[in-house]
Amino acid sequence: MLLDPELAEFLKNVSESGNKAFEIMSIDDMRQATKRLSVFYGDVEPVHKVETRAIKADDHDFLVRIYHPSPAKKLPMLLYFHAGGYVRGDVELCDPICRKIANRSSCIVISVNYRLAPEDKFPAALEDAYTTLCFAHRYAHEIGGSKDHIAVAGDSTGGNLATVLTLLTRERKGPKISFQILMYPVVDYTYSFPSHEKFAKGYFMTEEALKFYESQYFPPDADRKDPYISPYFIKHFDNLPPAYIITAECDPVRDEGEAYAEKLKKSGIKVVHYRFKGTMHAFIYFSPISKKADEAIFSVAEALHGFFRETIEKALHGQ
């Protein structure tokens, strides 16, 4: 497989830098290295308003960052869950992405600073995701959003959280999720698809790293076919939302994401799927060095705007 020349040059520079691979770093070093990668993420794009709020859960607080594309009220809302293997990353990691999505979709974006492993194991991040969904639904009017038009999105393990959240809120009879956007999602922790072997090394995300992250978040005795861990094994897809799914061509988790898209389709759920040629895992973070990254982000915003078009137009016209 041939990587896009811009991304291939980036990986070459990373390889020649002599930096340690994430999976052999300490957790603290890994988190600091993630912050240093932000130099590749590009300049921040202005939006109408950005605010940070603390959400109170039963025994802890966590932050969300809310991006308002305009002063309009009753806009659709998107909950965004960042990547990072459940171990690293925060709202700063996906800040440039959230700004672009908000501006181009005309939707309010709520980025979630969920708890990280190994300090907080499964299902801590998922419960924070559900708490955020309930917060957005309950305080939609105060936020400026529409409680009846909520979407979820995430990339990598954030994509896992997004799609598992659709299952969790269905089972709990919680707030309805209208639409899900999954970017190179991790949906099968049995590692049973061929792309895990084919792209195990040399394409930014390694098989070894995936297994390290898994070991930090999920208990060793947890059933890896539990749908709340591996949503590929969901048995009943009734009342799950339509999906827009992006996969990366040179990515260990490519095949499982595409197989999940097919499962959704066969269950009667409307799915749009694109495989971005010449890309690797996490490519959407590198827009300053890759046109493919912005193409993917803009396609997400377009899909979101298209799905909620009627609601957005009414909101922008004060109806």
Distance CA 152, CA 84 (A): 17
**Residue 70 catalytic?**
no
Query: Nearest 5 degrees, angle CA 50-CA 51-CA 53?
Result: 155
The catalytic residue among 137, 281, 287, 299 is 281
Q: Is the dihedral of CA 86, 90, 91, 95 positive or negative?
A: negative
- Catalytic residue check, 281: yes
Identified catalytic residue from 105, 106, 146, 156 = 156
What residue has token string 């105060």? 142
Instruction: Clarify whether 68 is annotated catalytic.
Output: no
Phi, psi of 93 (to 5 degrees): -55, -45
Phi, psi of 250 (to 5 degrees): -105, 75
The reply to whether omega before 241 is within 30° of 0 (cis) is no
**HSE-up of residue 101 (Cα within 13 Å, Cβ side):** 31
Selecting among 95, 188, 251, 255, the annotated active-site residue is: 251
Residue whose C-alpha is closest to residue 271's, from 166, 189, 137: 166
DSSP state of 37: G
Q: How far apart are CA 209 and CA 315, in angstroms?
A: 44
Q: Which is it for the CA torsion 191, 197, 200, 203, positive or negative?
A: negative
Q: What's the rounded Cα separation, in Å, for the pair 33 and 17?
A: 13
What are the strands, taking DSSP E only, across the chain? 49-56, 61-68, 75-81, 108-112, 145-155, 179-183, 243-250, 271-280
Structure tokens at 156: 């990598």
Question: How many whole angstroms separate alpha carbon 281 and alpha carbon 256?
Answer: 13
Task: Show which residues are catalytic.
Answer: 156, 251, 281
